[in-house]
Chain A
């Protein structure tokens, strides 16, 4: 599957980290780690700017994370109108990296609390598209 299938609308089709989608289809959320300096990257990067190395290894994330901040949108950019309202959140994974994703609609408004435990999981979208979202653990 091409990276162009990532998320509801993708503006990117070619990327050196397109294997991310293959892993996502296999129910795995992967980060990359620089073999030279050991830094973990999520969203995954193909290149480490600190030592100019592209020698990276894929590494699975546990998905365990905590909510840092969130917002519920009642007004959306073109192409997302039929999702309104939807909640975008930032969460910190236990591995130390940060994720920007939608909060599952299963979580009710009055249940959302900054600091709450969440789990980052792959999710299948309509039309064969694929993404990840934040759910209750």
Chain B
């Protein structure tokens, strides 16, 4: 009979600008944070999966470097990439390794050191996130991709710029309680609304920022998990889907179809529905992304995401607390590390270790991690 799979350890570095470390050292800090408080030595780790977006790396094939620095050789190591959802893709691979019986304990290490490149180099790469044959030549970039969704959502459902700004106000409120967040700053609605426009209707505070950082998640089979920790968090459901890279391949501009499908799979596997989720981490790379996530995950009906934040239902004490660690908007978004950071937040919530942002009695948590403008989606459901 195949084993249950648990998360037994989570770790993360501060997310910052110009972290002052090389990528191997960044990964070591997250790895140490994940392993030091559990009954596990690096020698007991059977395999590792290293996750990042390679266009920001100088190092070719970073998994070999990271594996060596963490003392994991000669165990197998693999490299996983799906843009901003790379480390939840790594998580899915780790889950399947353990479920199949191939490995018992697997480390998923996500990182990005975006300050390794000059601003000009980063700018150049930003345009190439779209279809380089038919879309990049028009001057596309990430904020513009989500801005197209924001405009369509506002047009169809009457979502307002105030509602978008309220997502960032919530993020700011919780950011000051997260010592690992890059921006620990309370923002007023007026500050958000009066900020300069980046790609209409998205303004400065509707957008997350590049960062340096690393995260680490250790997964184990049930038998091993019981020996490693007293507080394993069980993987109840995993879902994964894609949509076209090209904008012209899309038919829906008011929601992320891949996220809807990934959520459907994860809920089905876990045998639960959206109302059963006690706390969620969603991929708020832009404020509109969080509003669409509410709808795509079934926390409200399509078109009612703006109303959900308007009514403060996604704060602690509301119907479904979302991104109570500040989310990507405040934490910063070191691409390969982000999914692991989201998993860490939910695991700490389910272990009752979330401190000032603890959601009382949280039993079931959800992670929604999206790569590109709705190109890749992973949804993970965890259970105490």
Chain B, residue nearest A113 (CB): B155
A11/B155 in contact, CB under 8 A: no
Within 8 Å CB of B133, what residues of A?
10-12, 15, 43
CB <8 Å contact, B248 and A77: no
The answer, yes or no, to whether A53 is at the interface (CB within 8 Å) is no
A90 touches B248 (CB 8 A): yes
Interface residues of B in 59-78 (CB under 8 A from A): none
Q: Is A58 positioned at the interface, with any CB of B under 8 Å from its CB?
A: no
Given contacts A70-B151, A71-B151, A77-B123, A88 and B137 within 8 Å (CB-CB): no
Distance in angstroms between the alpha carbons of A77 and B155 in the assembled complex: 27
A97, CB-defined interface residue at 8 Å: yes
B128 → A minimal CB distance (Å): 7
Name the residue in B126, B137, B147, B248 with the highest tally of chain A Cβ atoms < 10 Å from its Cβ: B137
Residue in chain A with minimal CB distance to B127: A77
CA gap between A68 and B132 in the complex, in Å: 21
From known contacts A78-B120, A80-B127, infer whether A102 and B138 are also in contact, taking CB-CB under 8 Å: yes
Chain A window 60-94, contacts with chain B (Cβ cutoff 8 Å), 1 for yes, 0 for no? 00000000111111111111100100101010000
Q: For residue A114, which residues in chain B have a CB less than 8 angstroms away from its CB?
A: 151-152, 155
* Residue A101 lies at the interface, judged by CB distance under 8 Å to chain B: yes
Q: B197 in the interface, Cβ–Cβ < 8 Å? A: yes
Total interface residues on B, using CB and 8 Å?
Answer: 38
Contact in complex: A99, B248 (CB < 8 Å): yes
Chain B hits for A98, CB < 8 A: 247-250
Q: What's the least CB distance linking B286 to chain A, in Å?
A: 11
Q: Which residues of B contact A68 (CB under 8 A)?
A: 152, 253
Give the CA-CA distance A99 to B201 in the complex, in Å.
21
Q: Which of B124, B196, B200, B253 contacts A77 (CB 8 A)?
A: B124
Nearest A-chain residue to B152, judged by Cβ: A69
> How many Å lie between the Cα of A71 and that of B126 in the bound state?
16
Nearest CB on A from B360, distance (A):
41
Report B60-100 CB contacts with A as 1/0, cut-off 8 Å.
00000000000000000000000000000000000000000
Contact: B199 with A100, CB < 8 Å? Answer: no
Tell whether, in the assembled complex, residue A10 and residue B148 are in contact, meaning their CB atoms are under 8 Å apart: no
Hey, what's the 0/1 contact readout for A37-49 against B, CB within 8 Å counting as 1?
A: 0000011000000
B137 and A71 contacting across the interface, CB-CB below 8 Å: no
Contacts of A99 in B (CB 8 A): 248
State whether A12 touches B126 (Cβ < 8 A).
no
Residues on the A chain within 8 Å of B120, using CB: 78
Contact B248 A42 (CB under 8 A): yes
Answer yes or no: B139 CB below 8 A from chain A CBs: yes
Chain A residue, CB-CB nearest to B207 = A75
Structural contact, B143 and A88, CB atoms closer than 8 A? no
- Distance in angstroms from A19 CB to nearest chain B CB is 14
Assess the B199–A131 pair: CB atoms within 8 A.
no
Q: Would you give 11 A-B contacts (Cβ < 8 Å), ordered by A?
A: A7-B138, A11-B137, A69-B148, A69-B155, A70-B151, A73-B144, A76-B141, A86-B139, A88-B148, A98-B250, A100-B140
Q: Which 3 A-B pairs have the closest CB atoms?
A: A7-B137, A77-B127, A71-B147
Known: A69-B155, A71-B148, A71-B199. 14 other contacts (CB 8 A): A9-B127, A10-B137, A11-B132, A11-B137, A42-B248, A68-B152, A72-B197, A73-B143, A73-B198, A74-B198, A76-B139, A90-B253, A100-B248, A101-B138
